[in-house]
Amino acid sequence: MAQTASSKQVGTATLTLGDKTASLPVLGGTLGTDCVDVRKLQNELGVFTFDPSYGATASCESSITYIDGDEGVLLHRGYPIDQLAENSTFLEVAYLLLNGELPNKAELEKFNSGVMRHTMLHEQIRSFWSGFRRDAHPMAMLCSVVGAMSAFYPDSINVHDERQREISAFRMIAKIPTITAWAHKYNVGQPFVYPKNEYSYAENFLYMFHAVPAEDYKPNPILTAAMDRILILHADHEQNASTSTVRLAGSTGANPFACIAAGIASLWGPAHGGANEAVLKMLAEIGHKDNIPEFIKQVKDKNSGVKLMGFGHRVYKNFDPRAKIMQKTCHEVLGELGIKDEPMLDLAIELEKIALEDDYFVSRKLYPNVDFYSGIILKAMGFPTQMFTPIFALARTVGWISQWKEMMEDPSNRISRPRQIYTGAPTRDYVPLEKRG
């Protein structure tokens, strides 16, 4: 059973404004920074809080994922990410995120077969694809097809029915690899490959992505394990931009497919999930180690608009623990594929080394994030650059649906509705067109 999130009051903060004073509860969870509960502030002092981009705001209580950005710690339901990446499987992590506990053998078998029995898409979704241009970005296809799922599976969109919520979670997790693989097949003009449920989740995705009907497909166990690990590393990351988008959409009572489509749209940006694609483009543009100093100079120049993609994070002010595991996986994959010289990897290692010694990055606590190495692995595994962010979306679907489910089960959930500081024109009267200068 999912644990219910529940913070406790650990203190009181007092805020004085003019001659009024408000006593605000300070709430603490099991780990992490305490939060001042400002919900009564407007009533008591007649003001709102101002925190554009939410750098200092906790938007919900959650018992799914914990990040300590200073220490570089990432826990899912209390379990460190390195232990999960080393010992678990993606579907086991999915069960953990959704249900709060690791499954026993019988529970895992039931969950695996539940997911793997929903992998096919409604056959009419096939025809949906023919509306796209061949060169459509796969993220555009993911966004549209996932959004359209509410039209193909109207029997599981009642958000107030627990059973329907469960079915739609299964459907999302099971079908997103098929949608992702088919987006690629459509781009390259190859036939869609139907899922094979005897394969594991990662194996099935690699099969649908790489196989063609004209040849036998033999899954490579090392690459399958690497794929599974990449999926685990991207599975959830607490209240990041895309997850917050899913929660915001979900807070209105929108159906889960529409909410996940919103999350996919949010993930697409280069400041978020789109960074893995942007890292490879950046490395290609740098081209050679000799060009790194000039590139770093541009990054440090505020007017250039150039960023070191795959570096920096809103929460991590230390190594992103996922980046370390990614780098290790990168070496394993290149080793398995017999790639001795990968200029992109050499360039990335050199760039990382130089950046980590440079005062600009050191003073701002900018470290490699999960996207810095993931693109190099995915490229070596035969994925085109524009598929990197869709693969991130595939993995993150589990996190999004778990966070959405947690929110829907929270009795205190109500529509999310931030306020603003209005800086526009004060009240004025309408001027008829003929009287305007």
Q: Under 8 Å CB-to-CB from 328, ≥6 apart: which residues?
A: none
**178-187 b/e (C-beta count within 10 Å ≥ 16 → b):** bbbbbbbbbb
Strand partners, 16: 21
Cβ 387 to ligand ACO shortest distance, Å: 16
| Nearer to ligand ACO among residue 181 and residue 309 (C-beta) | 309
Active site residue 371: yes
Q: Under 8 Å CB-to-CB from 62, ≥6 apart: which residues?
A: 5, 238, 239, 403, 406
Q: Assess contact for 321 and 82: CB atoms under 8 A.
A: yes
Q: φ, ψ for residue 122 (rounded to 5)?
A: -50, 130
Cβ 134 to ligand ACO shortest distance, Å: 29
Q: φ, ψ for residue 121 (rounded to 5)?
A: -95, 150
- Write the CA distances from 274 to 52, 280, 342, 431, integer angstroms: 22, 11, 22, 45
| Rounded Cα distance, 141 and 150, in Å | 15
Cβ 221 to ligand ACO shortest distance, Å: 27
Cβ 137 to ligand ACO shortest distance, Å: 18
| Nearer to ligand ACO among residue 254 and residue 308 (C-beta) | 308
Cβ 212 to ligand ACO shortest distance, Å: 32
- Catalytic-labelled residue, pool 228, 236, 320, 371: 371
- Write the CA distances from 428 to 421, 422, 424, 425, integer angstroms: 18, 15, 11, 8
Residue 229 tokens read as 């690990």
| Nearer to ligand ACO among residue 147 and residue 312 (C-beta) | 312
Active site residue 160: no
Specify the 3-state DSSP secondary structure of 23: strand
Which residue's Cβ lies closest to ligand ACO? 312
| Rounded Cα distance, 197 and 115, in Å | 9
Positions touching ligand ACO (CB under 6 A) are 271-273, 275, 299, 307-314, 364, 366, 369-371
Cβ 331 to ligand ACO shortest distance, Å: 21
DSSP states of 258-318 as a string? HHHHHHHHHHTSTTTTTHHHHHHHHHHHH-SGGGHHHHHHHHH-TTT----TTB--SS-SS
| Nearer to ligand ACO among residue 183 and residue 275 (C-beta) | 275
| Nearer to ligand ACO among residue 203 and residue 320 (C-beta) | 320
| Nearer to ligand ACO among residue 203 and residue 371 (C-beta) | 371
- Catalytic-labelled residue, pool 210, 237, 313, 320: 313
Angle, alpha carbons 414-416-421 (nearest 5°): 140
Which residues are catalytically annotated? 313, 371
